[in-house]
Chain A
């Protein structure tokens, strides 16, 4: 569109020039892009770490990593992926950029707080880097279980402090989004007209606000114990180490819903557009999103069946875990029903969304296997768990992240990428993913523990195959990034609405002007009504 009037040319404040017009911006779109830059960086770092780990595991014995380094490697991989990529990823990058536009407004409610959240995110990352030196990054696993996290000589306090700072960033983002959704929607947009990505961010934000403080205090207690040795989790001094696990999972289970809800929101946006059909069960998706947020806070101890907690607790939490699967299943039915008898237009965002539906469903079903206390006794802390959470967090959230990248890329950068390479990359990633993680289900059932740098000879074949799959996966990721990056060499001439979408972000130029909308956007009665939209170009 008219290149001279996009937000790239027009900073939020004329006081700042050059790099400062970005580092001191309050424009939600610039902040979203700054987050995106950080998030993609950390994702690639963590992918490399994962590659290192799987390379080490491809053959028995120590190959490229010592046992100590291996422990720090998987801890770092987990900490980065969870606190620097998956939890902030969709909300901070795409939520910041897209949410105000979907609501028909010009920014979030607290723009300066938004910038602060970004600085906290960057600070958390930098603090994590400092933890790499001298005594080395924590070797406890990202779960920092006591007593090892209190006694080990590695830089646990610094690592944990980084996570604490990142938690602050997450809380403030959630606070900002809730206030934005309540107070800044276009006056013509009622609650039942809010697009599903925005709804998913609303549900996510409540979990961010209410659950994150639990991990904040838990991490503070780890630092306190390391320095003061009070003994709050030390049996020799009266404490109970299982209480640490309760506190830790009280956040970290709801955290997985922070991770997946925005992903589900993205899929709920993409599938209707490329089925040319309104989403099936809009209300059900809204209600199930809020239900997931609520029910997700009731099941944390399903991570603790073998910890030594009471049998009653095992029973109760297992029962509730089966309940929380229901609202997620409702969404899968809605997406599939939307596709049914739709006019399907295959595009990279749709392809990635379909992969999401399959991979997340596998992840969810294997979650039920683990949620059942009986099988979990055998599968806890095996590679089955590793496969399960990679299917949900990678096959789920990360794939939704890729889908969001491909869906909103033209809007954010004013350029359309090549489809062929996008499909090739997606295919490579998905194929590699399956070869990488399915062997882990089998290895887990066969009894291979997780977080071990070595294993018994009978697991060698599975690990080799998994490493092989990783190669294709990583190749696919690199191709995907390359395919998107080369668009910056091209002209910025993407249309306002290349996909024929009906949510408000498509009613503005690509990329948008500073205040998002040139004229007050037209809010449809129902957000997914395609009757008025003609076929999209190309």
Chain B
């Protein structure tokens, strides 16, 4: 029991962020018209591309002679970038369709 409380207090900040973000995520999506569900899913898909930050950190601290780490990290950066760039571009293309038509 003590250990659990200790672990919680050690990561207090993180636990706060997690719980608040869960509520924000639910609130933000709750009022979306179904028309926008597909672009929204695509937009959310691009946002979780934030995993690229982790790939950059891994890459950045790999020793220059540790090739397995470099190759894996490099692959991670490429895939993460694909997720971010592809995700945002696809979403933008979908939403382009929604703009008001000029007569």
A binds B: no
Chain A interface residues (CB < 8 Å from chain B)? none
Residues of B within 8 A of A (CB): none
